Amino acid sequence: MFTTRPEIAGTFGVVGSTHWIASQVAMAVLERGGNAFDAAAAAGFTLQVAEPHLNGPLGDCPIIIHHAKAGTQHVICGQGVAPAGLSVAKVKGELGLDLIPGTGLLAAMVPGAFDAWATMLRDWGTWALADVLEFAIGYAQRGIHYVPRICATIQTVKPLFESEWTSSAAVWLRDGGPKPGKLWANPALGATYVRVLKEAAAAGGDRVAQIDAARRAWYEGFVAEAINRFCRETDVLDASGRHHRGVLTGEDMARWRAPVETPLAYDYRGTTLLKCGPWSQGPAMLQTMALLNGFDVGAMDTNGDEFVHTVLEAMKLAFADREAFYGDPDFVDVPMQQLLSESYNAERRKLIGQQASMELRPGSIDGRTPWVDHAAESRLSLLGAAGAGEPTVSRLGVSGADTCHVDVIDRWGNMVSATPSGGWLQSSPAIPELGFALGTRGQMFWLDESLPNGLRPGKRPRTTLSPGMALRDGKAWMSFGTPGGEQQDQWQPIMLARMLDHGLNIQQAIDAPAFHSEHWPSSFWPRVARPGKAVLEGRLGQAVLDALLARGHQAELGGDWSEGRLSAARLEADGQMFAGANPRGMQGYAVGR
């Protein structure tokens, strides 16, 4: 089978990520004696400089790790919580909004990425924070190569920056702004990290003490103070078309640290798949695989209409349950055991017929009648007749954003799967003293406290960020993930089915044409749905499209290389390591030796 590049093979270490610079930074750390946790953290901080339209220092980052020495897996939840002052009464009652805006300051949660990386580095890494941050600081100070998409993103929000978000204009439009293929520096970002390291060094020579001091500088010190001041003093135009100040405070920052949890697990044909908890959409992938477990996927052509139809219908059911049941388990009793049980999925599987369903059909558990949003299609008008990229939308900053991903395996068998996102340059105005913006993950809450994903102070919004890991015979086998928002847990089961049921390797499974559904309400403002819509990568071809249309899908063909952003790394029993990365967009790369 043709692939765009080889599946990387090695025995010392491998890395796959969404940007070649991040992959090589992680590999450089491995070559200098660092472990997978050191390497992933260095790559993660570098991605904040390399892809500021996809993630930032004040974004989010869920991480799944495998600690080889202990033989254990952990989730580090880099998804921050809602501020104490952000409530349904505040947003809906006082401000008169029906949805939390997708841009601006009102949707800012406690930023989780920094503490997630720092917690992993402190508890499982070996390097000092200064050594890990050396790469990101160097690129921020001296400049980093920018791909055209970053420059195009800045152009879409240039009018907004010039007229409203002037602090962002100062960062991103100076000297005419960045040019594709040229170097671009962010000296303010570099200076922020230099100051963090200065405060860390003041804690003495102990590595752990320095990391904890850096965490205090971020969540209780000068970073939190700058965020608190900016939210209190700045009126910001957001996607609602109105100006709002932020609710996030320094006290919110000081109260939060990234929790470490046990991942959820589901066994698919002898491979144990791991995901974050129901504060993420990750369990929807496990539910999709549980539904597919009852089909002879191995007998299907994975580029044929039967496979595409079956996976689409399984995902519709899994994501309907996401809408009905998922939320922060610290606030909500999410029936995950039942949702992943064979008896429940055997009944749900009966709903998958030969024709496409146009309904949003969550299951019923313990007599519950779950609420799901059936009005999402009506909000399509908020995007404007021209759709995404329409001038009104870009004027308000909703210009599209995405995510990053990093997979690392080291020579000791440690493994990391991390999906940093949020804090996009186009999400919110840059905080002048820091050189970067807050995230807007709060847009994923519903403004109804009674719902599993309803807004409540101190609660995690149900994020789309979804790293993955897989075990075989109880041993870590593969780390995987992708950017893509709603598509993250759609592209991943497609890749897994091709690997586990058809024996494809990582690169073959990534390169093969993919697809996605837009059937259920989006997690992103303005929370629209397009019932029955399926987008197929062009290489699946007209015959498959025609067959799906005959089954009732509202299907269409996209570009030949338009679906999927996956990367993955795996470790086999003979000690060989393999990695692959997405060729689409000409950024992702896998390295190793």
- How confident is the model over 564-575, as pLDDT tens digits? 999 999 999 999
Which residue range(s) make up the domain with 41? Answer: 19-59+86-257+423-444
If you average pLDDT over residues 483-506, what whole number do you get?
97
* 525's tokens: 């403002």
- Let me know: does 291 contact 318? Beta carbons within 8 Å: yes
d(CA 104, CA 428): 4
Q: Is the pLDDT of residue 449 over 60?
A: yes
- Which sign, positive or negative, has the C-alpha torsion 398, 225, 115, 337? negative
If you average pLDDT over residues 501-512, what whole number do you get?
98
d(CA 166, CA 189): 17
Type of residue found at 532: G
- Which sign, positive or negative, has the C-alpha torsion 251, 121, 198, 204? positive
- Let me know: does 512 contact 524? Beta carbons within 8 Å: no
* 367's tokens: 């007599």
pLDDT of residue 554: 97
If you average pLDDT over residues 403-420, what whole number do you get?
98
Q: Is the pLDDT of residue 119 over 90?
A: yes
* 147's tokens: 């791909």
Phi and psi for 17 in degrees, rounded to 5?
Answer: -155, 180
- 506 lies in a domain? no
Q: Is the pLDDT of residue 430 over 50?
A: yes
Helix 187-201 vs helix 222-233: crossing angle, to nearest 10: 140
* 250's tokens: 């320094």
Q: What share of the chain is helix, strand, coil (3-state, %, to 5)?
A: 40, 15, 45
DSSP 214-255: HHHHHHTSHHHHHHHHHHHH--EE-TTSSEE-----HHHHHH
* 320's tokens: 């309907």
- Which sign, positive or negative, has the C-alpha torsion 80, 84, 89, 93? negative
Q: Is the pLDDT of residue 299 over 60?
A: yes
- How confident is the model over 139-191, as pLDDT tens digits? 999 999 999 999 999 999 999 999 999 999 999 999 999 999 999 999 999 99
Q: What is the 3-state secondary structure (H, E, C) of 369-388?
A: CCCCCCCHHHHHHHHCCCCC
- Let me know: does 477 contact 270? Beta carbons within 8 Å: no
Q: Residue 397 — pLDDT band, cuts 50, 70, 90?
A: low
Give the start-end residues of each E strand in 213-366: 236-237, 243-244, 260-261, 264-268, 271-275
Q: Which of 197-201, 401-405, 529-533 has the lowest mean pLDDT?
A: 401-405
**DSSP H/E element including 120:** helix 113-124
- Provide, rounded to the nearest whole percent, the portion of the chain with pLDDT above 90: 93
pLDDT of residue 395: 46
Q: Residue 389 — pLDDT band, cuts 50, 70, 90?
A: very low
Q: Which of 83-92, 194-203, 381-390, 399-408 has the lowest mean pLDDT?
A: 381-390
Letter string b/e over residues 228-263, b meaning 16 or more CB atoms within 10 A of that residue's CB:
bebbeebebbbbbebebebbbbbebbeebebbebeb
Q: Are strands 144-145 and 183-184 parallel, antiparallel or unpaired?
A: antiparallel
d(CA 291, CA 306): 15
Q: Is the pLDDT of residue 373 over 70?
A: yes
Instruction: Quote the DSSP letter at residue 93.
Output: I
- 309 lies in a domain? no
DSSP H helical segments within 463-532, as ranges? 488-500, 506-511
Type of residue found at 154: I
- 77 lies in a domain? no
- 247 lies in a domain? yes
- How confident is the model over 304-352, as pLDDT tens digits? 999 999 999 999 999 999 999 999 999 999 999 999 999 999 999 999 9
- How confident is the model over 516-536, as pLDDT tens digits? 999 999 999 999 999 999 999
- Mean pLDDT, rounded, of the chain: 95
Closest CA to 454 of 271, 287, 327: 327
- Let me know: does 135 contact 42? Beta carbons within 8 Å: yes
CA distances (Å), 73 to each of 149, 241, 472, in order?
35, 44, 13
Instruction: Quote the DSSP letter at residue 429.
Output: P
d(CA 336, CA 276): 12
Q: Which of 183-187, 307-311, 354-358, 397-401 has the lowest mean pLDDT?
A: 397-401
- Which sign, positive or negative, has the C-alpha torsion 152, 154, 156, 159? negative
The tally of domains found in the chain comes to 1
**DSSP H/E element including 472:** strand 468-472
Give pTM, 2 decimals: 0.96
Strand, coil or helix: what is 16? Answer: strand
pLDDT of residue 402: 86
- Residue 216 has, within 13 A of its CA and on its CB side, a CA count of 12
pLDDT of residue 388: 35
pLDDT of residue 384: 55
Q: Is the pLDDT of residue 432 over 80?
A: yes
Q: Residue 387 — pLDDT band, cuts 50, 70, 90?
A: very low
- 78 lies in a domain? no
- 271 lies in a domain? no
Q: Is the pLDDT of residue 32 over 60?
A: yes
If you average pLDDT over residues 247-256, what whole number do you get?
98
d(CA 461, CA 453): 7
- 52 lies in a domain? yes
- 249 lies in a domain? yes
Q: Is the pLDDT of residue 383 over 70?
A: no
If you average pLDDT over residues 237-249, what whole number do you get?
96
Phi and psi for 70 in degrees, rounded to 5?
Answer: -90, -20
d(CA 424, CA 434): 14
pLDDT of residue 173: 97
Closest CA to 282 of 485, 58, 465: 465
d(CA 568, CA 415): 11
